[in-house]
Structure 1
Amino acid sequence: MKKSIIALLCIVLYHVSLAQDLLSLVDKNEPKKIEHVTNAFKSSRVLNGHSMEMIGKGELDVRILHRFGEINSGPNNLFGLDQANMRLGFDYGLLNSLTIGIGRSNVGKELDGFIKFRPVWQSTGPGSFPVSIVLVTGITAQTQPWTDTAKKNYFSNRLAFYNELIIGRKFNEHFSLQLSPVFVHRNLVALASEENDVYALGIGARLKLSKRVAVVADYHYIAKGLDKNVYKDPFSLGFDIETGGHVFQLLFTNATGMNEKSFITNTTSNWGKGSIRFGFNLSRIFTVGKRRNH
């Protein structure tokens, strides 16, 4: 009797083991799903320029940007804190890969708007793609009064346009990098010697230091269209600080402008001479539509 029970137990254990082996083979052979890579950057901007990140569908990003005066202006100007330029912006996610935005800066009393689309999203799994590709097109309009009222001024002269291609990759949980060639066209320039078309190459990077803090930097090399003796390459260095629904960025930059046309074509301050501005970006996300997970 005991031998029969032992034999029966052995048969049962054998079949259980065989079933587990078959299940493990099924799990191994089951195709994995594509997973999109998120949080390459904590904000839709690196610091000045657009990042490869998008606003989620149904989300509204209210952005307040400040740039103070130059630090080397001295204690009489409280090292630049007595002066301030700002931009107020509203970015909305129509889809997870389609964002629109508008903003207004007191620099040039300039209005701006953009459309941002991500045709390729970095992913893992079968059929995945190693980078994200993002397209941005924008328009700006200066609204300040004309300085020369003697000649006929056209509204089209107030307009400028930019187109940008962003190619970026999140290499791991700590480091992300992107390249972004930018083309800017200005309908009107200040001097006849200046070119209407400006070409630049942007580089953005993020290095995560802790769960809520990261070092971020963006730099735009002006390749063509500006006098490099007058205009400088905009460079910004700062920190991302995530606090719940807020992303707070503290930064130092030589740029005053806060949209692509402005900071690429109008930066004259020089880091080497201490012409640096302290500033911050404050981003607050509100869910105003039916949110969809990334």
Structure 2
Amino acid sequence: MKKYSIFFLLLFSAILSTPENALAQDDLLGMMKSDSNTVNYMTATFKSTRIINGHSVETVAKNHMDFRISHRFGTLNSGAYNLWGLDMAYIRLGFEYGITDQWMIGVGRSNTDKTYDLFTKVKLLRQSSGTRNMPFTMTFFVSSAVNTLRYTQEDRSFVSRFAYTTQLIIARKFSENLSLQLTPTLLHRNRVENVGEKNTVWALGLGGRYKLSKRVSFNADYYYVLPDQLDPQFHNSLALGFDIETGGHVFSVHFTNSLGMIEKQFIGETTGQWGKGDIHYGFNVSRTFSFNKNARRSTK
């Protein structure tokens, strides 16, 4: 898997260094007004706050709440007896709220290790043209997760159950159809299960979206963990899938070698390998609700 990470990184770097006129500049100008006296911000770099497993640069709009249901099933290679994984279901329920258009908070609960997670995201920079020319969007992400399984004789420390993630999410929308993202990541676990593992893990996320039609896009994300940080049983996370927009919903269907749905799990605890058929079918459903009174009045 390491050779693929090098390829994706070189590809991403090459695209960033390509002149704008070679990357559908006309499409970008069509999405941004050309008035040089104003700042024109890029919108909809991604359709959701997630690409697949990992977060995107997007945040929930002010006074809006996003209710998110994420499912992962067993592996396809588990065979017909388990209906190719569909007999085994893992779920995360989450709520995300926009405090401002650039700042959101979220909370979730996964049945994997009965984990609760809390996070916040802030947009630091926004891709724009006009009087302010910014070539990319940058979002800061930080989260905390806690395992709430029953205590054992070996593990009676509450503090040891916490893990923390910090990310700097950088993305650029190159055209109406193509968006790419780079995500440097720092993951810290207060406790690790295997001798030789690092408590603090560095990783690099790569993601992208290619729009196939007005409501359908192909998405991919991959997280490369730097060598000699995890136990050999753990592998890099790769997810491929499609986003389908249906009114106020965004439905994502995908395949991934990761069972977990938060950073601690899919970056630090992925045991599946694509080459061995350890592939989980999954889907995410996102529904956004507005608490903006002015918006509600304007629709009456």
TM-score range, shorter chain: 0.7 to 0.9
Match status 1:67 vs 2:43: no
Aligned length: 262
**1:176-195 correspondence to structure 2 within 5 Å:** 176-195=179-198
Question: Structure 2 CA distance, aligned partners of 1:291 and 1:217?
Answer: 37
Which of 219, 237, 259 in structure 2 is aligned with 1:216?
Answer: 219
Distance 1:199-1:106 versus aligned 2 partners, 3 A rule: same
Please tell me whether the aligned partners of residues 198 and 230 of structure 2 are also in contact (alpha carbons under 8 angstroms): no
Which of 161, 174, 180 in structure 1 is aligned with 2:177?
Answer: 174
Relative to the length of structure 1, the TM-score reads: 0.86
Which of 30, 46, 50 in structure 1 is aligned with 2:51?
Answer: 46
Match status 1:259 vs 2:262: yes
Partner of 1:118: 123
Please tell me whether the aligned partners of residues 199 and 225 of structure 1 are also in contact (alpha carbons under 8 angstroms): no
Partner of 1:269: 272
Give the structure with higher Rg (CA): 1
Shift of 1:282: 0.2
Which of 63, 88, 95 in structure 2 is aligned with 1:90?
Answer: 95
Match status 1:165 vs 2:164: no
Match status 1:199 vs 2:218: no
- Secondary structure of 1:77's partner? helix
Question: Structure 2 CA distance, aligned partners of 1:51 and 1:231?
Answer: 24
Partner of 1:18: none
Please tell me whether the aligned partners of residues 89 and 103 of structure 1 are also in contact (alpha carbons under 8 angstroms): yes
Render the CA deviation track for 1:138-169: whole Å, top value 9, x for unaligned: 000000112x32x4622101101010001110
- Secondary structure of 2:171's partner? strand
Partner of 1:250: 253
Match status 1:107 vs 2:108: no
Question: Structure 1 CA distance, aligned partners of 2:259 and 2:229?
Answer: 17
Which ranges of structure 2 fall in alignment gaps of 5 or more residues? 1-34, 296-300
Matched letter for residue 33 of structure 1: T
Please tell me whether the aligned partners of residues 104 and 122 of structure 2 are also in contact (alpha carbons under 8 angstroms): yes
Render the CA deviation track for 1:171-227: whole Å, top value 9, x for unaligned: 010000010011000001112321101111000100000000000000000114534
Please tell me whether the aligned partners of residues 57 and 290 of structure 1 are also in contact (alpha carbons under 8 angstroms): no
Match status 1:129 vs 2:126: no
Shift of 1:290: 4.6
Question: Structure 1 CA distance, aligned partners of 2:230 and 2:215?
Answer: 40
Shift of 1:229: 2.7
Which ranges of structure 1 fall in alignment gaps of 5 or more residues? 1-29
Question: Structure 2 CA distance, aligned partners of 1:288 and 1:231?
Answer: 42
Please tell me whether the aligned partners of residues 58 and 291 of structure 1 are also in contact (alpha carbons under 8 angstroms): no
Question: Structure 1 CA distance, aligned partners of 2:75 and 2:288?
Answer: 30
Which of 235, 248, 265 in structure 1 is aligned with 2:238?
Answer: 235
Please tell me whether the aligned partners of residues 200 and 224 of structure 1 are also in contact (alpha carbons under 8 angstroms): no
- Secondary structure of 2:226's partner? strand
Shift of 1:35: 1.3
Bigger shift: residues 265-274 or 224-233: 224-233
Please tell me whether the aligned partners of residues 104 and 112 of structure 1 are also in contact (alpha carbons under 8 angstroms): yes
Which of 281, 285, 289 in structure 2 is aligned with 1:286?
Answer: 289
Please tell me whether the aligned partners of residues 198 and 225 of structure 1 are also in contact (alpha carbons under 8 angstroms): no
Distance 1:152-1:252 versus aligned 2 partners, 3 A rule: closer
Question: Structure 2 CA distance, aligned partners of 1:276 and 1:61?
Answer: 28
Q: Which runs of 4+ in 1 moved over 6 A?
A: none
Matched letter for residue 257 of structure 1: G
Question: Structure 1 CA distance, aligned partners of 2:173 and 2:293?
Answer: 27
Relative to the length of structure 2, the TM-score reads: 0.84
